Structure 1
Amino acid sequence: MDATTTRTSVRTRTTVRTRTTVREATLDLLRALDMTTAFGNPGSTELAFLDRWPGDFRYVLGLQEASVLGMADGYARATGRCAFVNLHSAAGVGHALGNLFTAYRNGAPLVVTAGQQTRSLLPNLPFLGATDAAQFPKPYVKFSIEPARAEDVPAAIAQAHRIATQRPYGPTFVSIPSDDWSAPCHPVLPRAWYPDASPDPAALEEAARAIAGARRPVVVVGPEVDSEGAGPALVALAERIGAPVLASPFSSRLSFPEDHALFAGHLPAAPQAVSDALGAHDLVLVIGAPVFTFHVPGDCALFHQGIPIFQMTTDAEAASSAPAGTAILGSLRLGIPALAALLPEAARPLPAPRPRPPAPEAGTPVSAPYALHRLHAAMPEDAILVEEAPSHRPAMQAQMPVRRWGGFLTMASGGLGYGLPAAVGVALASPGRRVVCLIGDGSFMYSPQALWTAVQEGLPLAVIVLNNSGYGAMRSFSRVLQVRDAPGIELPGIDFVSLARGMGCPGRAVGTPEELDAALAEAMAACGPFLVEVALDSAVASLYDKH
């Protein structure tokens, strides 16, 4: 370490200040913050930071920045800790922007750094220079800065970490000129940080009175519950209320155990369908989700019917944008038990459990429901499912009930290219557990490079590609929007097993039920990554059917 020591004496008191470099101060800060795993794709503007890479740090290499960002997102969401990302200047940030948008919507805590040309070159529009670097990733970061002085870089990273880990979690961004790393600076000590705040007790008391007086309440739950580790407390609250529980539209994590007697299904992202599902109730309690996420236009009559809506969330933006209801801001980890303590035991009769669909019939070609039914049977009990097959989500929700908190992740943004790299990040964060990436053929092609990282890291990752030779979601939307003969929807001629083998990953293509079961068993037993390509029939369920 290149360090000098200066002593300043004030009367009889001596203050000792140790001088170091920006690079060493940053590495020490990252150690103190438990951020010694870095996700990156290196370039020339990052070499000064990567020089003599310390042995106690792990560098996870991605072959393209979208994969790098997605891997860090999956890692952060699986661990519940902030992840560190190192991108390459303006072009690298540009490559990562799609998954940065997804990370923002996912609420993934990330400190994203990017190299910048040396400060002396910046006035002359240099090669690889990022103009207004801090503006580039906005608005999909919570905080963005290129420090005015080299010596301010470690403090900027510390601030970015604090903001990223303040709920709602999200990515932050620091642009760092390449010559800053060798500049002298003072060390930066991490501060104690307890960002969770309890909801207003008066607001909880108002909600408790309304819930206790309701005859037919319903609970709508979202991904914030699992993100905060508040799942068991939520189950206890729902059982105390004695109300049916619905998962919020496009929930990106497990919202409620899907085999629980109170679980009533998943709300679709259509205004009329939401009104139909909730309109028969006399109180709606929304926990950890917006009110509500829609994807098609229409009138949500629920907002005009005067039915009380109480929303508990950590997200001030989601609360302020809600078109109706009473918002209660604050930690769900603290707020859910506090609300439960205010409620009497429910005297209302419990709702009847929803009927489970019958097992799909085997056939050739294989149907999506049958493939997902068999996948669910093949997965280990503690496996983690990472999904990016939006056209098959209704079938997945019917055939693959998720039971374990932390056992399911998908993207909240709707942008493709997240699923495979996120699954790699989740596997890195979950040693000893099988991770299953369920992905569509179109989705796979956005970030296939992530499979190479899984091979290099030897991850127990089963990649299940549902191949219907096209963008199935677009086929579904075309039906909903009454659009015909749209171009760019069909994707013939892609050999996913050959793509996987080219990156060192074994795989099998299957087209019959017998082949499917054998391939799934092989994938679940493999020591490293294994890909199964399933040729499906072309049937696609509507994304907005009630189910």
Structure 2
Amino acid sequence: MSTGTITPRPGTRRLTTAQALVAFLARQYTERDGNRRRLIGATWGIFGHGNVAGVGQALLESGSDMPYYQGRSEQAMVHAAVGYARQCARLSAHAVTTSIGPGATNLVTGAALATVNRLPVLLLPGDVFATRPADPVLQQLEIPYAGDVSVNDTLRPVSRYFDRITRPEALVPAALAAMRVLTDPAETGAVTLALPQDVQAEAFDWPEEFFAERVWQVRRPQPDPEALAESVRAIASAGRPLIIAGGGVRHSEAEEALKGLADATGIPVASTQAGKGTLRHDHPADVGGIGHTGTATADDLARSADLVIGVGTRYSDFTTASATLFTRPGVRFVNLNITGFDAHKLAALPLVADARAGLEALTTALRGHRVGYGYTAEYSDGKARWERRVDAAYAASDEDVRPTQTQVLGVLDGLVTEDDIVVNAAGSLPGDLHKLWRCRSHDQYHVEYGYSCMGYEIPAAIGVAMAVPGRPVWALVGDGTYLMNPTEIVTAVQENIPIKLVILQNHGYASIGGLSESVGSERFGTAYRYRQPSDSGVRGTGDYTGGPLPVDLGANAASLGMRVMPARTVRDLREAMAAARAADRPTCVYVETETADTVSGPPPAQAWWDVPVAETATRPSAVKARQEYDRQVAARRRHL
């Protein structure tokens, strides 16, 4: 490596800021339970004038020390990194580098998703010149009252840590702080180091100690003895306790500990979207998803529970049915969570600890305690009734007709093993999956519903497949989501990552269409159809009630390099999915779905969700919807 005419001081290494950062990242590790992993497994990047000569050159210089992946969309690169981090239980992450300007601001949605879901990703956006040799420069945002603000400041509210490296030596404390946050289970999320393009290329004499291997221990904090004892007393005195398993169970790799508590006590376990699969679907205590998208079994138990034990959940409005689900007078909460902020929600008894450590401590302290036989029989019967509803939703009496969306899930359900992973995020599929999907392994269910971000599925599936090569990874995508962000298909093709993409064409935003109808908005603007001309003849005043648009998303996926198999019937679908699962290259199954009927459609929502309805309106649909809204909102309560 050339160092120019300057000889570095003894005990230092002369590198550019970008070279130093890449070398530092390549030597960071995590360790939990004696298992060591590389913290930053790879860097994604799209290069422009804000990073091509800095981080781009440094990645080239690093060779095999830092693997690099070429992305097509800055937002999608973050989604791929998040998928990877979740599959790695947050013990390994990816970095993402972009140019300044639009490249950097395109990171904001992905950063928000990572932070909302408490998943680590390192963002390295280029920034404008720190030395201001010309002012303004290309893509610089000029703020008359603040000379130190750039577009990267949009990343501040969606980052768990943010710093702008305006001098090379400032990288040392900032890089260490960034690693601390990325590896902290209670603090992790998007971490942003904004890198002015001139500082990236500036050389500095870095202390050799900066590049030493560094291991970040991911601890398992134990519960406070007094808090544990109080929680045990509450559980032991409860007649109808219910466990809610959230994403924290997965992040802590506490699935076996949860199973141990359920086996020992017989307490039923319901799951959030992030926690689904922490118990296998066939475990006697698993009662399925909870909340607005949950099962009747879980929601009925929630309404009658006298004690709710939240494990690693942040109690989103879908989980609590917008604060209308836990209705029993005097219901109490025990919250086991590594984050004190979440542990104190709903006026709970807070048990601040690692999920695995807390569950193991509860199991030991509750030895000999078990819920009553009548309670066990009740939820077992409810579980069996719900399974019959799942069977009905999946059933296809005629193999030669176009499938419904739930029948698509039924075909996939009959095909997968515990090796398969299903990725989804938005539309009507998360609700159907949460109610119906039968998880065969703790990591089979990968539904991002903290941010429910359209366009997540394809890049996230790539990230998951990178974390567990050789396992079948399915990206389930509606047409609305597909149109948001299909570009990383090219990355899957380029890297020959054999994701299995299932595109469900239903000609519009099916989920929001149904919601629109329920709140009196009559599916306005939710269908992908031609505009029906208005009587006035003025463009833009008609409704989108004409014929479906002649869109062939399968042809689009094929044009991006995927092998595409159209499936026009249930029989075609079965054959196409089997072929896709066996494929060793990126493969797409393209199916146009039929509108669900009363036999094979999904069960309706088993609990409410608060979407405010117009308080005054002239259209009858909105007036009726408001009456229902007023009825439902009256059941809301604050747990104090």
Structure 2 residue 265 is the aligned partner of structure 1 residue 241: yes
Unaligned runs of 5+ in 2: 29-37, 142-148, 530-548, 609-640
The residue identity in structure 2 corresponding to 1:521 is A
Q: Which structure has the greater CA radius of gyration?
A: 2
Does residue 163 of structure 2 align to residue 145 of structure 1?
yes
Say whether the 8 Å CA contact 2:417–2:440 is kept in structure 1: no
Confirm whether residue 112 of structure 1 aligns to residue 149 of structure 2: no
Query: RMSD between aligned alpha carbons?
Result: 2.6
Work out which of the residue numbers 605, 609, 614 in structure 2 matches 1:544: 605
Aligned mate of 1:209, from 212, 219, 233: 233
2:409 is aligned with 1:369: no
Deviation at 1:36, TM superposition (A): 4.4
The answer on 1:179 being equivalent to 2:182 is no
SS in 2 for 1:514: helix
Paired with 1:529 and 1:252, the residues of 2 have a C-alpha distance of: 28
The Cα of 1:380 is off from its aligned counterpart by 4.0
Give the CA deviation at 1:291. Answer: 3.1
Give the 3 Å change call, closer, same or farther, for CA 525–293 of structure 1 in structure 2: same
Contact 1:82 1:109 in 2 (8 A): yes
1:270/1:504 CA distance change after superposition, 3 Å: closer
CA drift at 1:296:
9.7
Aligned to 1:260: 283
* 3-state SS, counterpart of residue 141 of structure 1: coil
**Structure-2 residue corresponding to 1:345:** 368
Alignment of 1:13-412 (within 5 A): 16-33=11-28, 34=38, 35-48=40-53, 49-51=55-57, 52-56=60-64, 57-79=66-88, 80=90, 81-121=92-132, 124-129=135-140, 131-133=149-151, 135-168=153-186, 169-181=188-200, 182-187=202-207, 188=210, 189=212, 191-196=214-219, 197-248=221-272, 250-251=273-274, 254-269=277-292, 276-294=300-318, 300=324, 302=326, 305-320=329-344, 322-348=345-371, 349=373, 350-351=376-377, 352=380, 354-355=383-384, 356-357=387-388, 358=391, 359-363=394-398, 364-411=401-448, 412=450
Structure 1 residue 435, shift from structure 2 partner: 0.6
- Check conservation: 2:164, 2:195, Cα contact below 8 A: yes
Shift of 1:515: 0.9
Cα distance in 2, alignment partners of residues 518 and 204 from structure 1: 53
Contact 1:212–1:344 (Cα < 8 Å) also in 2: no
The letter for the 2-side match of 1:335 is G
Moved more, 56-65 or 482-491: 482-491
Q: Please report how far the alpha carbon of residue 2 of structure 1 lies from its aligned counterpart in structure 2 after TM superposition.
A: 5.0
Q: 1:252 & 1:90 partners in 2: Cα distance? A: 37
Q: Is the 8 Å Cα contact of residues 254 and 402 (structure 1) preserved in structure 2?
A: yes
Query: Percent same amino acid among aligned pairs?
Result: 24
SS in 2 for 1:433: coil
Distance 2:523 2:116 in 1: 32
- Partner AA of 1:265 in structure 2: G
Tell which deviates more after alignment, 234-243 or 346-355: 346-355
Q: Deviations over 1:521-544 (max 9, x none)?
A: 111111111001111112364773
Normalising by structure 1, we get a TM-score of 0.91
- Give the gaps of 5 or more residues in structure 1: 8-15
Query: Counterpart of 2:624?
Result: none
2:607 and 2:292 map into 1 onto residues whose CA distance is 10
| Shift in CA distance, 214/488, structure 1 to aligned 2, threshold 3 Å | closer
Q: C-alpha distance in 1, partners of 2:174/2:368? A: 49
- Give how far 1:234 is off: 0.8
Q: Distance in 1 between matches of 2:226 and 2:474?
A: 44
Mark the CA change 1:176 to 1:143 in structure 2 (over 3 Å): closer, same or farther: same
The structure-2 alpha-carbon separation of the partners of 1:252 and 1:115, relative to structure 1 and needing over 3 Å to count, comes to: farther
Worse-superposed segment, 96-105 or 462-471: 96-105
Amino acid paired to 1:66: Q
Cα distance change, pair 83–278 in 1 and its aligned pair in 2 (3 A): same
Take 1:230 and 1:140, find their aligned partners in 2: how far apart are those partners? 28
Residue 21 of structure 1: CA displacement?
3.3
Shift of 1:227: 1.4
Shift of 1:109: 0.7
Q: Are the counterparts in 1 of residues 292 and 607 from structure 2 also a CA contact under 8 Å?
A: no
**Which of 399-408 and 260-269 deviates more?**
399-408
In the other structure, the counterpart of 1:475 is 513
Report how far residue 295 of structure 1 moved: 8.4
Amino acid at match of 2:9: T
> Cα gap change, 1:362/1:468 in structure 2, threshold over 3 Å: closer, same or farther?
farther
Partner of 1:448 in structure 2?
486
> 1:117 corresponds to which letter in structure 2?
V
Are 1:6 and 2:9 counterparts?
Answer: yes
Assess if the C-alpha contact under 8 Å between 1:270 and 1:296 holds in 2: no
AA of the residue aligned to 1:391: S
Moved more, 173-182 or 16-25: 16-25
- For 2:299 and 2:396, locate their aligned partners in 1 and report how far apart those are by CA, in whole Å: 33
Aligned amino acid, residue 606 of structure 2: D
Q: Which amino acid aligns with 1:25?
A: A
Maintained 8 Å contact 2:304/2:327? no
Change (3 A) 1:460 1:77: same
Cα distance per residue 1:12-67 (max 9 Å; x no partner)? xxxx4444432332222111123241112111111122123432122111111111
Most deviating of 351-360 and 452-461: 351-360
Question: TM-score w.r.t. structure 2 length?
Answer: 0.78
2:511 counterpart SS class: helix
Contact 1:365 1:537 in 2 (8 A): yes
Distance 1:190 1:135, change over 3 A: farther
Residues 116, 178 of structure 1: 8 Å contact kept: yes
Query: Relative to structure 1, is the Cα distance of residues 304 and 122 closer, same or farther in structure 2, using a 3 angstrom cutoff?
Result: farther
Letter in 2 for 1:544: A
Measure how far apart 1:209 and its partner are: 1.6
TM-aligned CA deviation for residue 251 of structure 1? 2.9
Greater Cα shift, 113-122 or 436-445: 113-122
Q: String of CA shifts for 1:58-100, please: whole Å, max 9, x gaps.
A: 2111111111111111111112312211122231122222222
2:522 is equivalent to residue 517 of structure 1: no
